[in-house]
Structure 1
Amino acid sequence: MAESAVNAVLGNLSHLAVRESTFLCAVTLEVGLLRDELKRLQAYLKDADSKWRSGNVRVAVLVSQIRDVAYEAQNVIEAADYMEKRNRLKRGFMGAISRYARLPSDLVTLHSVGAKIQRVKRKLTDIFASAANLEIHLGDTSVVEDEFPTDFGHMHQNSDDDIFMVGFEDEHKEIVDKLVDNEEMLSAVSIVAMGGAGKTTLARKVYTSSRVKEHFNTVAWVTVSQTFKGIELLKDIMKQIIEDKDGCGEIDKMDEYQVGKKIHDLLLQKRYLVVLDDVWKPNTWEQLNRTVKAFPDATNGSRVLLTTQKEDVANHVQMPTHVHHLKKLDETRSWEIFSSISLPSYKRSVIDDVNEFEKLGRKLAEKCDGLPLALAILGGYLAKNLNIEAWSYVLLGWASIEDSKMMRDILARSYKDLSSHYLRSCFLYLAAFPEDFVISVSDLIDLWIAEGLIPHIPNHKPEEIARMYVTELAQRSLVQVVGRSKGHRWIQRIQLHDILREWCIEEARQDGFLDVNTEITGQASASTSNTQKFYRSSLQNSSDLFLQTLDLRTLFGFQISSIPKMSFLRVLHIESSSLSGICRVIDLCINLRYLRLRNCSHLKLTSSITKLIYLQTIDLRGTTTKSSMPKSFWHIPTLRHVYLNEEFSPPARNVRPNDFQTLFIELCSNRMIKFLGQMTKLTTLSLVRTHDFKGLLCIFGSMPHLVDVSIGNFQDYGMHFCSTIMKEDPMPILEKLPCLVVLKLEGYVGETMSCSAQGFPRLQELELKQFSCTEWSMEDGTMTKLSYLKFVMFNKMSHLPEGLLRLPSLKCLDMIYVPSISGDDSTLVTLQQKGCQVDMQKTELIITIPSLVVSSPSHYARGTNI
């Protein structure tokens, strides 16, 4: 991973101000020479890496030294760059002096930078000498390793559940039958199997089946994991079953007894299903019910579905329990899964000797011993290596080994086969998230970019390359896809299987790439850290801080109570933590690029945040602050993505926010709307509250790059609806957005709605809620790419518009509580005859906050999380 460090440093050097300064001639020359030395060093890394992995201890030390000197070089260079940029940003008399003269403090900084550069160069000289002694050879510097991925023309869904349900159809039916039987007493079904056998996949398929959804009044799913906290699981369950979703914020303030009692009261009159996935401890059920019996037995057929690897856990639930031992796949069904991944139909047509591949493939599938995860990962690897020699080599080298060793061997093979060291680094980066954590792809992409893990490829945006990386990891089954967009099927949320995560943690530590510190692994991590230096660390439910804080560049924290002071931090990602005193830490992190404090408390930021002149992303969603965000933060020159959890006003002085791409704030005043109109490069806009929807629509014309919009409209926190939320038809303006792919619109009170020809040229997903219109006219040629349409609470529309029949791509229609439209509506019947899937639910809904959500492929589905 030293190669990723050097490449990240070289990529960042091109953006530094020192190369443009006329006052830093000597430093600029030194920086140029240093950059040349780093490029030369980069050429040695492939040979060094291969020798290091072969077990050469001396080379391992050298690789560690290379990584250290690369980061030290960046720290030194950025010290001069920071001084120069700060001087440029100063205003008034002192600003003029800073720009045209050298202050004494600047001269001291420059002298220090020069001395440190010389020290770095001496270290580089020693490294080159060591490389020569170890016979590490200079590579071909003209070869460009990383190019834009090309093997994505056919997005086969090998990462989704349907493929992995092969062979489990009978077990799926058995479990569903048990859940919906006539037994009235509260009871449980436990699915037991080893890791990688498909427990969670089967449980998820049961949970989402139509029979289960129709049978139970309310359902909830929580992942328990090894380091669960009972109160957090209860809060998660309550947020899923509560009818008034707008009251979810109050749940976080409840204690364990209060939330348990509330769950009990909510479930007492309902037939419910609660899924406890990935349970490790026998007393989990007792822990959830220790202060009050949260899950009542109302003798109405309620159920608990549990997945675990342990027999004693399956039998320990204090209620009648049916234990289902998940069987391994037989030879025939193993081949079905393996072949669908390794030899997808779109590739078979271009393979000359398919029969030979099938002969080898059947033998390889048999080696996987009926484990779906092993079949998927090995199949994903071989799909990228479609040649007989590669398949034969794998088969010949396969030893007769136990399942755990087999999985590790398959994982290592697939990891080493990833197309570049960038992609390998991106995969190991997933170990920074806690066990069973659902990872937002848009957040992950922001992190990868901030870390310098995405290569610079001409004519391609970093977001585009990063999304291709996610796709490749999914195609190889190295990540589990748990959420896709309805229309375009982009991957929006992923998870890392426990087995893969454990392997990633071990590999990341061995490489010195990332240290993961949890309640379970904390002590082992500490011992590792004594002998190896880490620049990235992830603290997960850990009370002990085993950190080498002086040079730490990335810190993840999940449910922690404090963080130490750090000077060279680039990425700070903290979730669900108390952050008393963190502002003093942040003030020191002048190199910070990425600041995410999600669902935290006790945060107070001051005007000193303007010192963070490299900051690109700030995300405070769900975080309670002691004071409002200082207006001066708008003056940070590199700011691109802003997510604030409070009302916010525009800056007092003129600011040119032309480079802003993402903005999420809670309330938009008239002054703020005018300020937004200046954001000509804005691509994503999220406003939770606004009283001037018409004014917002008017500024869309000044935002040619706008591709994702989310707007909420209501009067106050009591959720009383405005009678004039949206009186005018919004479609004539919205249909002109050329990149629009997903549109979710809520709260229109007009009588008619119209869509014109050529409108919504790229729209694929449309969701309309709480509309009072009676007529919807649609001209020919509108919404030609629409594939998914959803109506929610259309109380006045008596019939579906005939224009739906002229939408060539419409494949799915969902209607929830549209009481005036019957199943024999002529348009509805014709749509079904044409093959459109129709789902009608009459369940009455609780009114939610009106909002508008718009997104586009050019933004790659960035999350807005209203």
Structure 2
Amino acid sequence: MAESALSSVVARMSNLAVQETSFLCGVPDEITFLKDDLTSLQCFLQDADDKRRNGNASVANWVRRIRDVTYEAENIIEVAEYTEKWNKVKRGFIGAMLRYACVLNDIIARHKLGVDINRVRRRFREIAISRTTLNLFDLGETNRVQDFRSKAKYSAYSDNDDVLVGFEDDIKLIRARIENAENDQLTFISIVAMGGAGKSTLARNVYNSVKKDGLFDAFAFVSISKSFEVINVLKDIAKQVMGIEGKDKELHEMSRSDEVEESFDKIREESITTMLHNFLKQRRYLIVLDDVWTAGTWDLINVRRQVFPDMKNGSIVLLTTRNLQIAEQANGLTYVHQLKLLSKEESWHLFCRKAFPSHESIDTNHRVEFESIGKNLAKKCNGLPLALVLLGAYLSKNLCLDTWLKMDHCLDWQMTKKWDIMEQILARSYHDMPEQHLKYCFLYAASFPEEYEISSSAITKLWIAEGFVPHITKHTLEETSRYYLEELVQRCMFHVVKRSKAHGWIEVFQIHDVLRDWAIQEALREGLLSVCKNRDNLLMLASGAMTAYRVAFHDFFDDEIYRVSPNLRTMFGFNLSVGTLHTLKFLRALYLEKSNLEKFSRNLGSLIHLRYIGLRYCKNVTLPSSVGCLLNLQYIILRGTRLPYIPSSFWNIPALRYVWFSDVKKWTAPRGGQQKELQTLVIQRKDQTRVSKYIWRRMRESLMHMTHITSLGIGGANVPVEMLTCLSDHDYLVELYLRALVGLVKLPDSRLFPQKLRTLTLVTGSDSVLEEDPMLTLGKLPNLVELTLAVAKYEGHSMSSSNCGFPRLQYLKLWWISAEKLRFEQGTMPKLITMTLEQCGSMARLPDGLLNLPSLSELKLVDMGNFLTRKSCEELENKGCKLIVTKGEQI
């Protein structure tokens, strides 16, 4: 941890020391000397880290001292930076008067800065002197930054290629049990095996295949984990099986997942239990409860609450567990499937798929040696798929005979515990990572709860805010952070859940609970992160054994943290009730989910170090006018969190890079030219209150200056059509979302659209009547990959996609289209994979020319009426296009 902290601070001081500002006049020399002190200690950290890992307590304490004083130095420097930024914000006559009035304060502050730096320098000198007694050697510069875009070697296998080697018979047996249960009573199928044996992978594969076959009416896949709350499990099941089909009228009107989430969160346990039971009574369902740990889990979920009705229709509840006793306790028909470990041949097959990427050319003579060593290594994994995957991924990055031989000698044949081998492989994979930043990015994922589906957008921005992502020439920080994530996936440290359709990069991923448990312990040893689930964890921090700079609270919070960790830099919270944050004056990143933040806004403006604010499905959130004082704030993301208003002072923050407000009641617009670093801007409203023309004019004026923006989303009650025409000069814009467009008669010329657009969502308002076919215009956009179009009022009878239109489009969703006919000419949409038609009530038949789309593999019809014929179904089937017909389901 100290190495990463030192690197970040040295880089910051390199920039600060060369600034010639009035505020720092007389101070740059002290900063330069401090930078030299820091750089000199960097050279000893690699040796110190090696000795610390070998159990040298004195060296471990030395490293902790470096980390602590480094953070103190960073705080001092940032205060200096902040003061200079604040001086620049003061403008005009009043600003000049304020600057003049503060000359004396600046002199005092400058003096204090010099005193603080000298104090920190003395501490560094003391630490430097003590290194001689610890026999630490200078190993040279250790901060290596790798450009993953050009150097990373990626596996040839896709994310969807779930590792199912050796499970073919298991899949057949479980599927047969499910398919033959059509007229049986409620059946419980349990998959039992130790951790890392592939239970969840097998269950997910069976679940996905059965879901595609349409054998059931309702589906849910829910992870239970060690510590769970029944109400949260029930809500998760309800969200999946009910979608927008729920009993509550409001659920019918919702079209966004965050609204569904919020609605369910308001429902009490008794109500949701009854609602879920009554809903499932009318359907044949498949529910998967993944990773059930305790014997009382099933009793808590179903026996006491009677959630899952038995209608004698062959419904299935599938459990995965490590405990045979749990598998056998369910009532009714029970089938226990004990998952065997892989055989010698299966282990070798799986190992090869990961260790020998197809793009690597290995000399024939050497390949024989590699295979000989590899077979020995595969055998040592004791048939555990997770161990084989991790080991294979590690060795695929090190196609060197010496490395393979060392690994073979390292793994102990005599170990009786399979997890000893697993931990050795995991530790070797971790320590083999090419730079310290990447290691901390992996450990950081332990902040999230077990089995949590982690948003890549959230965590990569947190990495940036933490200083884990270095600047690489010609790459943005966001690009580098995505390469870091890809590298960790290729090393099998993370598992991809979802990728972006338009861009191909990772959107959602998970960390295996075995890897997460190891990461929690390693993060604690590194001094990177502490996870608090109860008061005992907090008392451990209070003992002073290690200073806590980053804490993740899971379903537990205590104000004692303010006393225990006054220098806290990062706080995660899940299901909390948080008070004020005024004592956390050095806080840099704040991520809270499903928490009550009634007093959150008090003193928020005093947290001048804040770089990241993420609030997901939180309640009682307001932003005070003092938020404009957070001049270092780069990311603010409120997803599923209602905000009464955006204070106008918010738009004074110059450092903003990513702004996402999913539900703002009172609209305010940015000020032109302020946010030059802004890349993503999303502001949505859920009510129907109209926005004034003045605000829209200011929004357009501001957007004219935001020429580097890459993603823009505006949703309100009356988005003017001019919002489309003001974007033609935005050469970097690749994602555009405009909802409730008014006054739209025809789309502007395709040349007035940003030409690099890859994702486009256009939804017209109720008072827009489109007179011309929008498909003819949109089809000319050369880079469009994903299109969602909703046109409620259209004067024409048909819409058509012409020859050579939509050259790169892969995903098309037409929603609320009032046209009677849809036609596709020969040669249009050559790359289209999936088409979705939803609630297009005027359409009486399938689109003409559907068979002309050469790459179409999936057609989804949602609430489209009953106009399918047997002939059309057979034609689609012969073409190799899967037809999915659903009613009232969120797509």
Mark yes or no: TM-score above 0.5: yes
CA apart distance, 1:442? 1.4
| Mapped pair 1:684 → 2:684 | no
SS of 1:613 mapped into structure 2: coil
CA distance in 2, matches of 1:741, 1:14: 42
1:179 equivalent in structure 2: 178
1:25 equivalent in structure 2: 25
1:741 equivalent in structure 2: 785
Asked whether the 8 Å contact 2:597–2:620 carries over to 1, the reply is yes
CA apart distance, 1:760? 4.8
CA apart distance, 1:320? 2.5
Deviates more, 1:188-197 or 1:6-15: 6-15
1:558 equivalent in structure 2: 574
Asked whether the 8 Å contact 1:220–1:275 carries over to 2, the reply is yes
| Mapped pair 1:696 → 2:723 | yes
SS of 1:318 mapped into structure 2: coil
CA distance in 2, matches of 1:378, 1:823: 51
Over 3 Å counting, the alpha-carbon distance change for 1:33 and 1:538 in structure 2 is same
What is the aligned counterpart of 1:594 among 589, 592, 612? 612
Asked whether the 8 Å contact 2:597–2:621 carries over to 1, the reply is yes
CA apart distance, 1:43? 2.5
Write the letter of the residue equivalent to 1:839.
K
SS of 2:309 mapped into structure 1: coil
Asked whether the 8 Å contact 1:697–1:733 carries over to 2, the reply is no
Asked whether the 8 Å contact 1:18–1:80 carries over to 2, the reply is no
CA apart distance, 1:51? 2.4
- The residue correspondences of 1:603-622 to structure 2 (distance < 5 A) are 603-622=621-640
| Mapped pair 1:542 → 2:556 | yes
SS of 2:63 mapped into structure 1: helix
Asked whether the 8 Å contact 2:846–2:868 carries over to 1, the reply is yes
Over 3 Å counting, the alpha-carbon distance change for 1:359 and 1:611 in structure 2 is same
Q: What per-residue deviation string (whole Å, max 9, x for no partner) do you get for residues 577-618 of structure 1?
A: 111222125233111000111111122321011111110111
- The residue correspondences of 1:654-733 to structure 2 (distance < 5 A) are 656-667=674-685, 669=691, 670-674=693-697, 675-676=699-700, 677-678=703-704, 679-692=706-719, 694-713=721-740, 722=766, 724=768, 728-731=772-775
Deviates more, 1:430-439 or 1:141-150: 141-150
CA apart distance, 1:693? 6.4
CA distance in 2, matches of 1:338, 1:94: 69
Asked whether the 8 Å contact 1:283–1:316 carries over to 2, the reply is no
Over 3 Å counting, the alpha-carbon distance change for 1:507 and 1:682 in structure 2 is same
2:748 equivalent in structure 1: none
CA distance in 2, matches of 1:524, 1:375: 38
CA apart distance, 1:777? 5.9
SS of 2:75 mapped into structure 1: helix
| Mapped pair 1:767 → 2:782 | no
Over 3 Å counting, the alpha-carbon distance change for 1:745 and 1:348 in structure 2 is farther
What is the aligned counterpart of 1:380 among 393, 407, 410? 393
Write the letter of the residue equivalent to 1:743.
L
Write the letter of the residue equivalent to 1:263.
L
CA apart distance, 1:826? 11
1:631 equivalent in structure 2: 648
2:58 equivalent in structure 1: 58
What is the aligned counterpart of 2:370 among 351, 357, 364? 357
CA distance in 2, matches of 1:652, 1:556: 29
What is the aligned-residue identity percentage? 38
1:861 equivalent in structure 2: none
CA apart distance, 1:121? 1.0
Write the letter of the residue equivalent to 1:512.
G
Asked whether the 8 Å contact 2:286–2:317 carries over to 1, the reply is yes
Write the letter of the residue equivalent to 1:711.
L
Deviates more, 1:564-573 or 1:408-417: 564-573
CA apart distance, 1:14? 5.3
What is the aligned counterpart of 2:586 among 568, 590, 599? 568
CA distance in 2, matches of 1:844, 1:87: 59
| Mapped pair 1:168 → 2:183 | no
SS of 2:640 mapped into structure 1: coil
Asked whether the 8 Å contact 2:824–2:847 carries over to 1, the reply is no
| Mapped pair 1:398 → 2:380 | no
| Mapped pair 1:584 → 2:584 | no
Deviates more, 1:779-788 or 1:180-189: 779-788
What is the aligned counterpart of 1:282 among 282, 295, 311? 295
CA distance in 2, matches of 1:637, 1:358: 56
Asked whether the 8 Å contact 1:192–1:307 carries over to 2, the reply is yes
CA distance in 2, matches of 1:614, 1:725: 44
Write the letter of the residue equivalent to 1:813.
E
SS of 2:639 mapped into structure 1: coil
1:853 equivalent in structure 2: none
CA distance in 2, matches of 1:350, 1:821: 57
Q: What per-residue deviation string (whole Å, max 9, x for no partner) do you get for residues 689-730 of structure 1?
A: 343463433233243322112334499xxx998374766544
| Mapped pair 1:813 → 2:813 | no
| Mapped pair 1:48 → 2:48 | yes
Asked whether the 8 Å contact 1:166–1:337 carries over to 2, the reply is yes
| Mapped pair 1:492 → 2:507 | yes
What is the aligned counterpart of 1:438 among 444, 453, 456? 453
2:519 equivalent in structure 1: 504
Asked whether the 8 Å contact 2:433–2:439 carries over to 1, the reply is yes
CA apart distance, 1:544? 4.2
SS of 1:353 mapped into structure 2: helix
1:856 equivalent in structure 2: none
CA distance in 2, matches of 1:632, 1:732: 43
- The residue correspondences of 1:402-417 to structure 2 (distance < 5 A) are 402-417=417-432
Write the letter of the residue equivalent to 2:421.
M
Deviates more, 1:568-577 or 1:107-116: 107-116
Q: What per-residue deviation string (whole Å, max 9, x for no partner) do you get for residues 19-69 of structure 1?
A: 241342112332233223322322222222222222222221221111112
Asked whether the 8 Å contact 1:222–1:275 carries over to 2, the reply is yes
SS of 1:204 mapped into structure 2: helix
CA distance in 2, matches of 1:437, 1:119: 43
Deviates more, 1:441-450 or 1:177-186: 177-186
Deviates more, 1:373-382 or 1:180-189: 180-189
| Structure 1 residues not aligned, in runs of 5+ | 849-866
TM-score by length of 1: 0.89
Write the letter of the residue equivalent to 2:607.
C
CA distance in 2, matches of 1:18, 1:636: 24
CA apart distance, 1:841? 1.8
What is the aligned counterpart of 2:886 among 820, 837, 843? 843
Asked whether the 8 Å contact 2:37–2:125 carries over to 1, the reply is no
Q: What per-residue deviation string (whole Å, max 9, x for no partner) do you get for residues 393-451 of structure 1?
A: 21122212111111100000100111211111111111111111100111111111111
2:759 equivalent in structure 1: none
1:851 equivalent in structure 2: none
Asked whether the 8 Å contact 2:764–2:790 carries over to 1, the reply is no
2:547 equivalent in structure 1: 533
Over 3 Å counting, the alpha-carbon distance change for 1:779 and 1:840 in structure 2 is closer
Write the letter of the residue equivalent to 2:202.
L
CA apart distance, 1:173? 1.7
Over 3 Å counting, the alpha-carbon distance change for 1:472 and 1:153 in structure 2 is closer
CA distance in 1, matches of 2:533, 2:199: 25
CA distance in 1, matches of 2:577, 2:143: 47
| Mapped pair 1:76 → 2:51 | no
- The residue correspondences of 1:44-443 to structure 2 (distance < 5 A) are 44-99=44-99, 102-141=102-141, 144-152=144-152, 155-157=155-157, 159-160=159-160, 162-180=161-179, 181-210=181-210, 213-242=213-242, 243=245, 244=251, 246=254, 248=260, 249-289=262-302, 292-348=305-361, 353-399=366-412, 400-401=414-415, 402-443=417-458
Q: What per-residue deviation string (whole Å, max 9, x for no partner) do you get for residues 765-785 of structure 1?
A: 333334344555667876565
2:668 equivalent in structure 1: 650
TM-score by length of 2: 0.87
CA distance in 2, matches of 1:803, 1:14: 60
CA apart distance, 1:187? 2.1
| Mapped pair 1:452 → 2:467 | yes
